[in-house]
Structures are given as structure tokens and as C-alpha cells.
Amino acid sequence: MQGSDIDVKNETIACRWHKSSFCYKTGEVKEWMHISNFQKMLGKMGLNAEAKEIAEMEHIPVDVYETKEQDGFIWVGIPIN
């Protein structure tokens, strides 16, 4: 998710391409493909097929891996002791 926004206070990372945000500790979906309320309304009325499709998509969490920094390197997927 290179170039994504990280919100340390809310523990989220937001994909800049898909406008979805996830908890970076659990992978839980916090916001799914952000679209405006107006677009949502048009989707519900059947006037915006893309908004309707986005609203109906399954909210899929992201995989989360244990990480640690050691000696200037980032280690991913190893136990943190």
C-alpha cells in the first residue's frame, strides 16, 4: 500500500487508490471504498451503477503480519519477542 495514508491515532491505513481504510493491527475494514453520500443515494436509486456495485461488494479485511525493526532492517512475518 505504498503511498497510503497512515493514521496512528486511529490505527488505520488508507489505500489511496481504492479509498478503503483498514486497522493496521487487525486488518479489519474501517471504511470500504469511500464514496460520497450523493453517490450512495444515486446508487440506491439505480442511477449510478458503479456506486451501487461498490456498496454491495463484500468488505474483505487485509492480511496482517507481525513486524519488527532490528538494526535498521524491517522484519516481516517473524515472532516478536
In a domain, 55, yes or no: yes
**Partners of 22 in the β-ladder:** 13, 29
Domain annotation covers residue 64:
yes
pLDDT tens by residue, 24-48: 999 999 988 777 777 767 767 777 7
> What is the reported pLDDT for 68?
86
pLDDT over 80 at 66, yes or no:
yes
The confidence score (pLDDT) of residue 27 equals 92
Q: Where do the H-state alpha helices sit in the chain? A: 37-44, 49-56
DSSP-derived letter for residue 21 is E
Say how many CA atoms lie within 13 Å of 49 toward its Cβ.
Answer: 0
Give the domain range for residue 64.
5-76
The answer to whether 57 touches 69, Cβ cutoff 8 Å, is no
- Strands 21-23 and 12-14: what pairing? antiparallel
For residue 81, being part of any structural domain is answered with: no
Per-residue pLDDT tens for 7-30? Answer: 999 999 998 877 789 999 999 999
Q: State how many domains the chain has.
A: 1
Residue 51's pLDDT is what?
67
